[in-house]
Chain A
């Protein structure tokens, strides 16, 4: 299940993945303020709930690094223990172009340690995982200006938790 960004023309939705299908069983998308999308996830244990969202600029200049944050908030009202992959948490970020094709994945071809980290997230607390997209594709080439969709994936056990997409516009280079 995907939701369009507030005020932005609807992009062609990315091709659903198996992770999407799994997430759909638990997803209740709700909108917040402009430019923010959130996803309420009810974990397998039932009442446990996490709020996941991707935070990124709405527009960036071509070639500029794009700061992207995967924000995970415990809205369950009680402390939770998350099982997250990696010694340092190995979250994933994915960028899709306006045809829905994946152009960049943070963990593309990455060999990640198979350790599982037990992360305690107190009631109301937020976990922020930040990375930077250098506007290059999985093949290392600069991506063209245009509209993109960003998605976050938290590598939890047993299944990854997936955010809805966040729209991002890469502006064409200005006149020199």
Chain B
């Protein structure tokens, strides 16, 4: 997990279970502070309860404290803190309140965070989480630096009018959860009948992608949400894949590719067909030079995964972005994605490896306040040199 992941608002990592794991560890119990000057010895559970009522509010007001309670006997106060450095401050407060050192223990435990899923609110935003527009749900693909301002990429079909700029307004996760929009559609190129290899009667493009300009003040990460496990159906966020690199040149793929989407979470499969032209069911749209990724067991994608970032893993929590998912089979045994190269050919150069510190400047150019970095292994990238 990267440092950025810990900036998310609202997930649970570990709860009080961490307490049990710490109980036998040497050196974690007992403050090192001197004996209180005016201590009141607890008289059994009743006395401990009084001390608890007196001390809990003040101790938990200290930064770095996690919980306050009593042990199973009810006679000893137990306080949890995030790190050892907090223990002296807890001891100081307890001493001031007249709680004797023999009446309590302080343990170092994991901090408690709220459990969050891909369908919850995420601030800053990151790839793979749910977005909402009109009466549809899709997935936020990835955030980018773009000449038009700090933006995110999702599917062209995840706009009010596919293939034209219709000013679609996006919310995360839904407008009912957070009524403040995160962005407005900025660019959704038109489909064309005249592209090479486009079939007669079809409207074609090389990517199912649209750019959405972030609203001012919306922070975004160059990161993809990571769920608890791969291909297990979980949508619980447990960290992030740092987008350390992006593939700006490839249209033919092989091997294992991954995606994260709001419906099926983090899934992976093997490239089956690559750089193939695909008709989109229920429309006259044909997408040129797309790649299919299969997982015969199913569950690789489902409704709502449109826009999912597609990537290669480069480490346990790092990724190389390769494209954007737009569809798949009804049984969920394959998904189809547009290569990032095609996306950039149609939307313009973009950099998905950076964080954004507060949204766009309204589309007037520049990098929207983001801080760019040179992607490893990509010396021709605009941020390099």
**Using a CB–CB distance below 8 Å, which chain A residues touch chain B?**
18, 83-88, 90, 92, 107, 109-120, 153, 155, 157-158, 160
Chain A residues in 8 Å Cβ range of B303: 83-86, 114-117, 155, 157
- What secondary structure prevails in chain B residues at the interface with A? loop
| B281: interface (CB < 8 Å) | yes
Identify which of B162, B279, B283, B305 contacts A114 (C-beta below 8 A): B305
Given contacts A85-B303, A90-B330, A111-B329, contact A118 B136 (CB under 8 A): yes
Closest Cβ neighbor of A105 among chain B residues: B330
Smallest distance from the beta carbon of A112 to chain B beta carbons, Å? Answer: 5
Chain A residues in 8 Å Cβ range of B328: 111-112, 114
| B302: interface (CB < 8 Å) | yes
Q: Are B336 and A87 in contact (CB under 8 A)?
A: no
Known A-B contacts: A116-B306, A117-B303. Give 8 more (CB < 8 A): A18-B298, A87-B162, A110-B281, A112-B282, A113-B208, A114-B138, A114-B327, A116-B304
**Using a CB–CB distance below 8 Å, which chain B residues touch chain A?**
135-138, 155, 157-158, 162, 208, 261, 263, 278-283, 298, 301-308, 325-330, 335-336
Chain B residues in 8 Å Cβ range of A117: 135-136, 303
Chain A residues in 8 Å Cβ range of B327: 111-114
Q: Are A112 and B137 in contact (CB under 8 A)?
A: no
Smallest distance from the beta carbon of A113 to chain B beta carbons, Å? Answer: 5
Given contacts A87-B157, A92-B330, contact A114 B306 (CB under 8 A): yes
Q: Are A155 and B301 in contact (CB under 8 A)?
A: no
Chain A residues in 8 Å Cβ range of B155: 113-115
Given contacts A83-B304, A107-B330, contact A114 B263 (CB under 8 A): yes
Chain A residues in 8 Å Cβ range of B325: 114
Identify which of B135, B282, B336 contacts A88 (C-beta below 8 A): B282
Chain A residues in 8 Å Cβ range of B137: 83, 115-116, 118
CA A84 to CA B135, docked complex, whole Å: 11
Chain B residues in 8 Å Cβ range of A92: 330
CA A91 to CA B150, docked complex, whole Å: 37
CA A160 to CA B162, docked complex, whole Å: 26
CA A160 to CA B281, docked complex, whole Å: 18
Smallest distance from the beta carbon of A25 to chain B beta carbons, Å? Answer: 17
Q: Are B281 and A115 in contact (CB under 8 A)?
A: no
Q: Are A114 and B301 in contact (CB under 8 A)?
A: yes
List the 10 closest A-B pairs by CB distance, nearest first: A85-B303, A114-B306, A116-B304, A110-B281, A116-B137, A116-B303, A107-B330, A114-B305, A118-B135, A115-B306
Smallest distance from the beta carbon of B305 to chain A beta carbons, Å? Answer: 4
Smallest distance from the beta carbon of A119 to chain B beta carbons, Å? Answer: 7
Smallest distance from the beta carbon of A152 to chain B beta carbons, Å? Answer: 12
Closest Cβ neighbor of B325 among chain A residues: A114
CA A117 to CA B302, docked complex, whole Å: 12
Smallest distance from the beta carbon of A29 to chain B beta carbons, Å? Answer: 23
Given contacts A85-B303, A87-B282, A155-B303, contact A115 B136 (CB under 8 A): yes
CA A90 to CA B327, docked complex, whole Å: 12
Chain A residues in 8 Å Cβ range of B306: 113-116
Chain A residues in 8 Å Cβ range of B304: 83, 85, 114-116, 157
Chain A residues in 8 Å Cβ range of B305: 114
CA A113 to CA B278, docked complex, whole Å: 11
Q: Are A157 and B302 in contact (CB under 8 A)?
A: yes
Smallest distance from the beta carbon of A13 to chain B beta carbons, Å? Answer: 20
Q: Are A86 and B282 in contact (CB under 8 A)?
A: yes
CA A28 to CA B328, docked complex, whole Å: 31
Closest Cβ neighbor of B261 among chain A residues: A114
Q: Are B329 and A112 in contact (CB under 8 A)?
A: yes
Identify which of A18, A116, A120 contacts B136 (C-beta below 8 A): A116
Smallest distance from the beta carbon of B175 to chain A beta carbons, Å? Answer: 11
Chain B residues in 8 Å Cβ range of A160: 330
CA A113 to CA B157, docked complex, whole Å: 8
CA A136 to CA B329, docked complex, whole Å: 20
Q: Are A111 and B281 in contact (CB under 8 A)?
A: yes
Closest Cβ neighbor of A159 among chain B residues: B302
CA A87 to CA B284, docked complex, whole Å: 13
CA A107 to CA B278, docked complex, whole Å: 14
CA A107 to CA B280, docked complex, whole Å: 11
Smallest distance from the beta carbon of B304 to chain A beta carbons, Å? Answer: 4
Chain B residues in 8 Å Cβ range of A116: 136-138, 263, 303-304, 306
Given contacts A112-B329, A118-B136, contact A107 B302 (CB under 8 A): no
Question: What are 18 sample pairs from A and B whose C-beta atoms fall under 8 A apart?
Answer: A85-B303, A87-B283, A88-B282, A88-B283, A90-B281, A107-B330, A110-B330, A112-B328, A112-B330, A113-B208, A114-B305, A114-B307, A115-B157, A116-B138, A116-B306, A117-B303, A119-B135, A157-B302
